[in-house]
Amino acid sequence: MGYLIDYLKQDVRFEESLKACMNCGMCTAVCPAAEFYEYDPRRICDAVQRGDDDTLERLLKEDTIWYCGQCMSCKTRCPRGNVPGELISVLRRASQELGYFHQSEKGEQQKQLMKTLQGNILEIGYCVYPDRVDPDYHPEQGPVWQWYHRNIAAVAPKLGANYHGQGAGALRDIPQEDLDEVRRIFEVTGGMELKKKVCDE
Ligand code: SF4
Ligand code: SF4
């Protein structure tokens, strides 16, 4: 056991995510990400359970911890009550805090995602809002999105949305006092500090 396993154990989610793994592979068998990527939650649980610094440092620098889709199918099947998907979250957080994610292409991609999504949450209260998915920058969204984006003011009310309206409803504007509260939550829970560390380094 070493420094990194002690570091991981400081995360309150660790205890619930990995109690004792018997390497049965059930999590990998049900994991959708394992079907498409070089990704194996059983192997990750095993590596963390071993707990030696060299293995953990390699893991924190690898692309593999960024392949999990956080679907939590593994939680429902593990005979030991482990939650590999949650363990992945613990590893991702450590990789970001310790700067190991820079060594991974997928980790670097998450940096851009964090910058965009956290910026959106803090500025407008949504992870994703249609106005901010500009078809010129997202041609992969296709022609239907391009049309919707151009005509959203007319289309959204017909779909029952409260586009840029006050009060309740989807796509409503979030009041400034609520945005201030969200910002305080990020400040108190360390989200602002983590974003600064990840995005401004
Ligand atoms: S299902 Fe549970 S016990 Fe089996 S390998 Fe995965 S984490 Fe370990
Ligand atoms: S949460 Fe992650 S590890 Fe668990 S089944 Fe889903 S993709 Fe796989």
What residue owns the CA closest to ligand 1's atom 2?
78
User: Is there an atom of ligand 2 within 6 Å of 72 CB?
Assistant: yes
Q: Is 70 in the pocket of ligand 2 (CB under 6 A)?
A: yes
Among protein residues, the one with the nearest Cα to ligand 1's atom 3 is: 21
For residue 102, the model assigns a pLDDT of 94
Q: What is the pLDDT of residue 112?
A: 86
Say how many Å lie between the CA of residue 19 and the centre of ligand 1: 10
Distances (CA, A) of 186 to 89, 122, 183: 17, 9, 5
For residue 173, CA distances in Å to 114, 121, 186 come to 22, 12, 20
**Which ligand 2 atom is nearest residue 34's CA?**
8
Which ligand has an atom closest to residue 17 CA?
Answer: 1
Residues 122-178: pLDDT tens digits?
A: 999 999 999 999 999 999 999 999 999 999 999 999 999 999 999 999 999 999 999
Among protein residues, the one whose CA lies closest to atom 8 of ligand 1:
21
CA dist list (Å): 185 to 112, 118, 172, 196: 21, 12, 21, 15
Please, what are the domains in the chain?
Answer: 3-103 (1.10.1060.10), 106-199 (no CATH)
From first to last of its 201 residues, what are the pLDDT tens digits of the chain?
A: 689 999 999 999 999 999 999 999 999 999 999 999 999 999 999 999 999 999 999 999 999 999 999 999 999 999 999 999 999 999 999 999 999 999 999 999 998 889 999 999 999 999 999 999 999 999 999 999 999 999 999 999 999 999 999 999 999 999 999 999 999 999 999 999 999 989 875
What number does the ligand 2 atom closest to the CA of 83 have? 4
> Which atom of ligand 1 lies nearest, measured to the CA of 42?
5
Task: Find tokens 């959204």 and name the residue.
Answer: 156
Which of 70, 76, 91, 92 gets mutated to test ligand 2 (max ligand atoms within 8 A of its CB)? 70
- Residue 87 has a pLDDT of 98
Enter the DSSP assignment of 20. Answer: -
48 closest CA partner among 93, 17, 81: 17
Res 199: pLDDT:
87
Residue 201 is predicted with a pLDDT of: 58
